[in-house]
Amino acid sequence: MLSVSESAASDRASLLASLAAAVGERQIVSGDNLGRYNNDWTGDHRGLALAVVRARGIEDVAATIRWCHTHGVPLVPQGGHTGLVAGGTPTASGNEVVLSLELMNKVREIDPVNGVAIVEAGCVLADLKEAVDKAGAYFPLSIGSQGSCQIGGAISTNAGGINVVRYGMTRALVMGLEVVLPDGQVYRDLRGLHKNNTGYDLKQMFIGAEGTLGVVTAAAVKIVPKPTQVETLFLATSSTPAVIELFRRIRTDSGDLISGFELMGAPSIELVCATEPNIRNPLSAIYPAYAIVELSASGGPAIKPWLDTYLATLMEEGLVLDGVIAQNQAQVAEIWALREGIVESQARFGAYLRTDISTAISAVARFIERGTEAVEALVPGARCLPYGHVGDGNLHFNVIRPMNMTPEEFAPLIHKIEDELFTIVDEFGGSISAEHGIGLAKRHAFEARLEDVPRRLMQTLKQTLDPRNIMNPGRILS
């Protein structure tokens, strides 16, 4: 007679054998080799997969899904595991099969005249950007994780990033998809048409669905002319409202040249300059709020001469107190390092609150004021670091521990601060997840504020498309 754990181990072995028979022994990773598939890059989410299937093509994806469907085994589609909400990593249950798309990584076709590239889901974003660049065009999705994240994951999470203000979220860049549905059938439209009003636009269902309605295996994505003029500015202002006013002004006055517009509060700039030895503030004084602005164009009238005059006007008016325009690539890198360094800076203080909220652009400054007051009242001395894509109304309103508190003392307060900030987000009619998605990590907060009608619609969609609930179950909806 087998003990309970021996029985479980035997079940597990027979499941693995059956899976191997279905998709081929060589495609299966199990046991000690699961490490890098179990965890996301933050280390916040550590799971344990039953096995990983590394699909070589759509047939392997379909075979895996059919096998999961037959055996009632949950499937977790996985891209570059760079997500921030535990949407693409297994739970610790040991019962989920991870489907890795990493071997399906070809750029199949690039047509710069049509403005479309056809790419497999496992292609690393940076590789796609490079291939498109070599073809003389530009793929305008730029996110911190682009060296690791895969295009299938970007599509499944409707990724954002710094170019959204100009080119939209990933959804706006998807012109067609190939998706294996929860029953193993394939929906495919990779024709790359810019306009097509024939029936329901089915691809929309799978974009941002975090792998809960099917597995994206390939996509037709929009590519655009390559920017040949790029101007990067670091501008200081008197306040957050002044940064928002600056956004309004530059957006109106520049003629859609803005391709990036990031807010950095003084605390963020001070922190990053204090903690990162290689990062310095290019301005000699400290100001209340800063903007990193990128203007770009693929040609057309010269930006630089106009910009020099325009910036002088903004300074005469007093809207910009001080500022620099990068004169070379080193200075461009220096400016962006201020933004990118913040991630590492924050982590130096131990556990901290990371949020990804959005409000109307016109409400961002008021939100920061209200949020900062609320955090100060809750945890005096906690340092608020609101920064991010204010050109889209999207803030990473992060909070690190007070100087007089240890990381251990601060850790239990993080969720309380998050709750408080999310309540203010609700008051502002904002979103608690602007670009990161829901996954497992934000599901509780999401479902707590999900109204009846959208809840019913989402549940209906899920149940109709995935009646056995095998596709990334528990992510987004419980």
Q: Cα dist. 260→141, 363, 474 in Å?
A: 11, 19, 34
Q: What number of other Cβ atoms are within 10 A of residue 366's Cβ?
A: 16
253, 344, 373, 427: which one binds a second copy (CB under 8 A) = 253
- Select from 221, 41, 24 the least CA-distant residue to 121: 221
Tokens linked to 157: 């999470």
Site for a second copy in 189-208 (CB under 8 A): 189, 191-202, 204-205, 207-208
Q: What is the Cα–Cα distance from 177 to 333, expressed in whole angstroms? A: 35
Nearer to a second copy, 127 or 435 (CB): 435
* Burial class (CB within 10 angstroms; exposed 0-12, middle 13-18, buried 19+) of 135: middle
Q: What is the Cα–Cα distance from 249 to 271, expressed in whole angstroms? A: 28
Nearer to a second copy, 410 or 428 (CB): 428
Site string for a second copy, 329-358 (x = CB under 8 A): -----------------------------x
If one asks whether residue 429 binds a second copy (CB under 8 A), the answer comes out as yes
Tokens linked to 334: 């220096």
If one asks whether residue 41 binds a second copy (CB under 8 A), the answer comes out as no
Question: φ and ψ at 440, to 5 degrees?
Answer: -90, -35
CB of residue 137 to a second copy, shortest distance in Å: 9
Site for a second copy in 129-168 (CB under 8 A): 157-158, 160, 164, 168
DSSP class of residue 226 equals: P
Please work out the total of residues on this chain that contact a second copy, with binding judged by CB under 8 A: 96
360, 373, 416, 478: which one binds a second copy (CB under 8 A) = 360
> Between β-strands 51-54 and 97-100, what pairing exists: parallel, antiparallel or unpaired?
parallel
Q: Cα dist. 128→131, 191, 475 in Å?
A: 5, 18, 27
CB of residue 113 to a second copy, shortest distance in Å: 4
101, 432, 440, 470: which one binds a second copy (CB under 8 A) = 432
DSSP class of residue 471 equals: B
Site for a second copy in 384-403 (CB under 8 A): 389, 392-394
24, 94, 112, 402: which one binds a second copy (CB under 8 A) = 112
362, 406, 423, 478: which one binds a second copy (CB under 8 A) = 362
Site for a second copy in 254-293 (CB under 8 A): 254-257
If one asks whether residue 66 binds a second copy (CB under 8 A), the answer comes out as no
44, 111, 322, 369: which one binds a second copy (CB under 8 A) = 111
- Select from 426, 272, 416, 250 the least CA-distant residue to 335: 272
Site for a second copy in 209-248 (CB under 8 A): 209, 213, 224-229, 244, 248
Q: Cα dist. 408→275, 402, 404, 416 in Å?
A: 20, 12, 12, 15
CB of residue 451 to a second copy, shortest distance in Å: 8
Query: Would you say 160 and 393 are in contact if contact means Cβ atoms under 8 Å apart?
Result: no
Question: φ and ψ at 455, to 5 degrees?
Answer: -60, -45
The interface region with a second copy, picked from 12-20, 51-59, 61-69, 295-303 by CB under 8 A, is 295-303
Site for a second copy in 11-30 (CB under 8 A): none
The interface region with a second copy, picked from 49-57, 118-126, 317-325, 449-457 by CB under 8 A, is 449-457
- Give the residue ranges of DSSP H helices in 211-363: 240-254, 266-275, 303-317, 329-347
Amino acid at 280: R
The interface region with a second copy, picked from 88-96, 333-341, 414-422, 436-444 by CB under 8 A, is 436-444
Nearer to a second copy, 341 or 371 (CB): 371
86, 271, 368, 438: which one binds a second copy (CB under 8 A) = 438
188, 280, 348, 444: which one binds a second copy (CB under 8 A) = 188
Q: What number of other Cβ atoms are within 10 A of residue 83's Cβ?
A: 27
